[in-house]
Structure 1
Amino acid sequence: MASSSSRSPSRDAPAERSPGNDIDVEKAPSTTETVQPQPQPSTRRAFPETDLDRGIVGWDGQDDPTHPQNFPASRKWTLLALVSSVTFISPLASSMFSPALTSLSEDLDVTNQTLLSFSVSIFLLGYTFGPMLLAPLSEIYGRRIVLSCANWFFVVWQVGCALAPNLASLIIFRFLAGIGGCGCITLGAGVIADLFPVDKRGLATSIWSMGPLMGPVVGPIAGGFVGQSLGWRWVFWLLLIAGGVLSLGIECFNQETYAPVLIRRKTAKLAKELGRSDLRSAYDPEGRGVSPTKILKLGLKRPIVLLFKSPIVLFLATYMALVYGLLYLFFTTIPSVFENQYGFSPGLTGLAYLGIGLGFFSGLIITATTSDKVLLKLASRNGGKLEPEMRLPALVFSACLLPISFFWYGWSADKKVHWIVPIIGMIPFGVGMMGVYMPIQIYTIDCYPAYAASANAALTASRSLVGALLPLAGPKMFDTLGLGWGNSLLGFLALGFVPIAMLLTRYGKMIRERFPVDLDS
């Protein structure tokens, strides 16, 4: 027990509430963090430590091996890989069903194109509501148990989808599967904040983000061949098998990473062993003992508070939602364009998505290799102090890439240029979307490390709502305007957001500090 009774050198230093070694910018008007080799004050405490004389239970020193950020690198990356694997399967399910709509239409005798499209996009509505519940639950019971329950909820409803007797039941089952499927996407940001310090999150977030971006691309490729050869029901049987295997693997190897929950368990264990009822978690040093009901209410409120009280989060969430909606509008046109314009079979049509996929992969490599380096370079110019806005410069360049694809793809498809031309035209959109998605994602994690799951829930809910509903207007819009002018309209819309990206990059810090957000009341 000697290590458990270690004390901080200064009794006056308050215990940190952030679960990692980040300064929680929700509570500090100046959001900075010093980067090595900048000299650090010897009394600085990133992790709250145990002080049994004061009845405080925390970590056994800054090098405590049980703190998630002190885990061996192999364990950190294994945990991230587990979460990322399901983060790939879930978005895969969102679009894998799309190429099999023809098979579904013939089997269930459905001719309404809007309802058929809705059976695909309804999955994303589950992404809209699920994060609001799962994020606060993870802050009460921990990441592991909530992620596990969400994963199995997603897997179980694949059975319902595969056996659905009619379109109405399929839509309901898809919605429920979406609620479970959003667990990995909602909690992944929290796991990254738990495991990695701020200057290592760029690469980690890049790997984790492969799922939400690559899944919707790989889905139609696989779904096209499955739907053509085996029928639409086998899409869900394959998702059941893949999701079940990965969920079982997570059950075997995953572990808790949320620091307040770990210290809460440690406090209860020490209180029992030492017979002391006065012990309190360092993350709740006053022993307020907030009830789970109140925590849940606060958690449900946090994403809404962020969206409506933080202008910069609102702008970034809106921009991400727009880009995500444009991605799914792309998806609505690809089957008809390559089947009707170029005579592709349903299986070959899925391969047309490789254009966006190649763009995503290129953007991922660029972002993963440059994000943390750019952050550290900008920090060195700022006296070694990190600021979340240092993640945003790439946003402007990426925003300029997005409109290119709509003009290129739209007019080349409209004029029936060789099929390789519109496919190549999708690549800039893929690169640009990764360059938009990643900086916004890492920015919110850096800004709100203690509530990364809740902050990510705000982004996930808003973009999923737009991604679910906006594509429903796609068929009518393109029927009215045609492929050329319909895509040009989307290109002009994307172009209109470029100045906003510039303003946020230049004045983001000023806006954030002028409108601080209290997420604890």
Structure 2
Amino acid sequence: MGLGILESRSRLSKVPGTVALADIDEQSIDNAAILKRAKGSDEKIILVPQPSDDPNDPLNWPLWKKVTIVAIMVFGACLNAATIGPLLSASIVVISEDLNRSMTETTLLTGYNLAIAGASCPLISAFATKVGKRPVLLTSSMASLIGSIIGSVSQTYDTLLVARIIQGFSIAAYESITFTLIGDLFFVHQRGFWINIISFTLTAVSNLSSIIAGPITYNLGWHYLFYILVACSGLQVLLLFFFAPETCYKRENSLSQYVLGSDGNPETKGTETIEHIEDSSDSVSQHPSPSATPLKSFRQELAVYTGSYSNENILKLLLGPFLCLTNLVALWNVVMTGVVTSTYVAISYVVAQIFSAAPYLLSTAQIGYLSVGPFLGGFIGCTLVARSSDPLAVWMAKHNNGTYEPEFRIPLIVFAFIGTAGLFGFGATAAAGDSIYLVDFMWGLTLAGISFAVGSCSAHAIDAFGSMRNEIFVANVMFKNFLFFGYSYFINDWILEDGPARPFYVFGGINAGLIVTALPVYLFGKRYRSMWSQHNLMEMMKAKLFG
């Protein structure tokens, strides 16, 4: 039993996800010399997955190129995932008055936007798996640009609703594909940092948009939100087209993940006994030898379509995000991150309602400035997770005889209880009319706690079930966006009837209960991975449905 994780009871020689990351005892690892390792201070860390010798393998790209791609993805996530959703949060009261609509109807401009994001998830998953991430991301960015143009000229509620619906098609890709793209570019021991950069973008940066959007609406009018978004979206489309090539790669089965047997001994007796971190069963063809594969030119990398990356039919891929939920740990991941994140969105729905009324009587600009608290909380939380996730995983692997388990990502979730305290505190202080700075501090605590939950769960999903990561993240986006949509129907009325205390006490209690469920996932996660590899319900159901 490694660090509390229960060993598999099956006769399975290899448990997917369990890998030799650090060779503590070189002599105990047969053929260890043939495995590629990291460079510099991490030279004893075995690279997982093992990169090919192909210069076009994204794992072999220079760091500056990887960072450039991630930066463009982060910029896109800032605009499409972190800004478009809460774009109107600080302006709900103003827009409601301008368009002569109720508060609930105005909130539904965001609700329908997120519903479209959820509904488009299966399409995002299917096409990203089939034709690669690049065409899907470009299409999503164009939806953002077109929707923003329509929003900038809208004069009626219906036109603005159309704009928000079109913008909704841009959200899902940047909430899901950005996470899986990290797995394309980086090795296991590097992913935690970059995953938490994405997590920070999707949580804390959405508050930064409100800080900016509130004063813009107050000083210039809400149409200027769309004017500025048009310019930014146009720039992001250009950067994406020219400097973010396709990261999907048809990897050979022989380019393996270094998987340990259930007895702790490395499986290195020939490439056929080694399992790769990705499920290559759908690979269209083996990659040519490196000598036959020259480095692609800049012009070649501009191609939008680079081929098919899966032999599965599109209908089977469309069902992927639903079928992946037959995996109980994937289901836990989706519910955990979706519900925890939804509590933050609940606050954004009601912040204008609570703080524009007595005793606070804040203006639209002042309501926007309130988002400084959650932005700083999210920044601090994500920074701490980013700085500790990879070092903790490597440290635990070294103290586990060099063996890495995906469950090593889970312990940081304990700090998500900070978010629970923030939710209780936000409800209590807002209901009592306490200092606005104290209320804002509680909002910041909420985001800090959410950062620990989302960052840890995301890293665990990628490492534990790498072959399902697209489906898991897309299912997550689908679940939480429909949850957000549901909130838009009742959260404002609930606050009006019961005040802020009771709703956020309920949210805090639910959060605490979900965080506790991380313990059995940590303890029994390896056993479940072993069982799943032998009884993959997702593949069984695909076979039953499609033959």
Structure 2 length-normalised TM: 0.78
Of residues 200, 206, 209 in structure 1, which corresponds to 2:196? 206
Change (3 A) 1:514 1:61: closer
Q: Which amino acid aligns with 1:127?
A: A
Pair 1:36-2:53 in alignment: no
Of residues 177, 182, 190 in structure 2, which corresponds to 1:187? 177
Moved more, 208-217 or 160-169: 160-169
- Separation in 2, partners of 1:387, 1:269: 32
Aligned length: 465
Of residues 517, 534, 543 in structure 2, which corresponds to 1:500? 517
Q: Which amino acid aligns with 1:482?
A: G
Shift of 1:29: 4.0
Match of 1:95 in 2: 86
Moved more, 298-307 or 257-266: 257-266
Trace 1:225-240 onto structure 2 (pairs within 5 A): 225-240=215-230
- Separation in 2, partners of 1:506, 1:427: 31
Shift of 1:185: 2.3
Instruction: Look up the SS of the partner of 1:31 in the other structure.
Output: strand
Pair 1:387-2:420 in alignment: no
Deviations 1:353-385 (A, max 9, x none): 111111100111100100001111111122212
- Separation in 1, partners of 2:87, 2:339: 22
Shift of 1:451: 4.2
Moved more, 485-494 or 65-74: 485-494
Q: Which runs of no fewer than 5 residues in structure 2 stay unpaired?
A: 1-12, 37-49, 253-282, 294-306, 543-547
Change (3 A) 1:486 1:183: closer
Change (3 A) 1:94 1:29: same
- Separation in 2, partners of 1:432, 1:411: 18
Match of 2:424 in 1: 407
Match of 2:453 in 1: 436
Of residues 123, 128, 139 in structure 1, which corresponds to 2:129? 139
- Separation in 2, partners of 1:468, 1:212: 17
Pair 1:491-2:481 in alignment: no
Match of 2:71 in 1: 81
CA contact (8 A) 1:311 1:512 kept: no
Of residues 350, 356, 368 in structure 1, which corresponds to 2:386? 368
Trace 1:163-182 onto structure 2 (pairs within 5 A): 163-182=153-172
Shift of 1:267: 6.2
Shift of 1:518: 5.7
Instruction: Look up the SS of the partner of 1:344 in the other structure.
Output: coil
Of residues 481, 485, 491 in structure 2, which corresponds to 1:468? 485
Shift of 1:142: 1.8
- Separation in 2, partners of 1:257, 1:28: 28
In terms of fraction of residues, the more helix-rich structure is: 1
Match of 2:321 in 1: 303
- Separation in 2, partners of 1:395, 1:142: 32
Shift of 1:130: 2.3
CA contact (8 A) 2:130 2:308 kept: no
Deviations 1:261-316 (A, max 9, x none): 9996996999x99xxxxxxxxxxxxxxx9997843223212211111x11111122
Q: Which amino acid aligns with 2:374?
A: I
Deviations 1:400-432 (A, max 9, x none): 222211221222222222211111112221111
Q: Which amino acid aligns with 1:252?
A: F
- Separation in 2, partners of 1:436, 1:184: 19
Q: Which amino acid aligns with 2:84?
A: A
- Separation in 1, partners of 2:90, 2:309: 47
Q: Which amino acid aligns with 1:107?
A: D
Deviations 1:482-505 (A, max 9, x none): 222332222222222232122222
CA contact (8 A) 1:88 1:215 kept: yes
Deviations 1:322-360 (A, max 9, x none): 112211111123222322231221101111111111110
Q: Which runs of no fewer than 5 residues in structure 1 stay unpaired?
A: 1-26, 47-59, 274-288
Q: Which amino acid aligns with 1:154?
A: S
Moved more, 328-337 or 366-375: 328-337
Pair 1:105-2:96 in alignment: yes
Match of 1:55 in 2: none
Q: Which amino acid aligns with 1:259?
A: Y
Instruction: Look up the SS of the partner of 2:154 in the other structure.
Output: coil
Match of 1:510 in 2: 527
Identity across the alignment (%): 19
Q: Which amino acid aligns with 1:34?
A: A
Trace 1:201-280 onto structure 2 (pairs within 5 A): 201-260=191-250
Moved more, 193-202 or 487-496: 487-496
- Separation in 1, partners of 2:481, 2:393: 29
Instruction: Look up the SS of the partner of 1:466 in the other structure.
Output: helix
CA contact (8 A) 1:130 1:180 kept: no
Trace 1:123-162 onto structure 2 (pairs within 5 A): 123-162=113-152
Deviations 1:443-462 (A, max 9, x none): 11112334432221111111
Change (3 A) 1:105 1:261: farther
- Separation in 1, partners of 2:232, 2:461: 31
Structure 1 length-normalised TM: 0.82
RMSD: 3.0
Shift of 1:242: 0.8
Change (3 A) 1:269 1:395: closer
Deviations 1:123-168 (A, max 9, x none): 2222212231122212222222221122112211111222334323
- Separation in 1, partners of 2:162, 2:437: 38
- Separation in 2, partners of 1:397, 1:208: 19
- Separation in 2, partners of 1:486, 1:210: 25
Change (3 A) 1:291 1:482: closer
Shift of 1:439: 0.9
CA contact (8 A) 1:134 1:183 kept: yes
- Separation in 2, partners of 1:267, 1:380: 34
CA contact (8 A) 1:402 1:429 kept: yes
Q: Which amino acid aligns with 2:113?
A: F
CA contact (8 A) 1:194 1:258 kept: yes
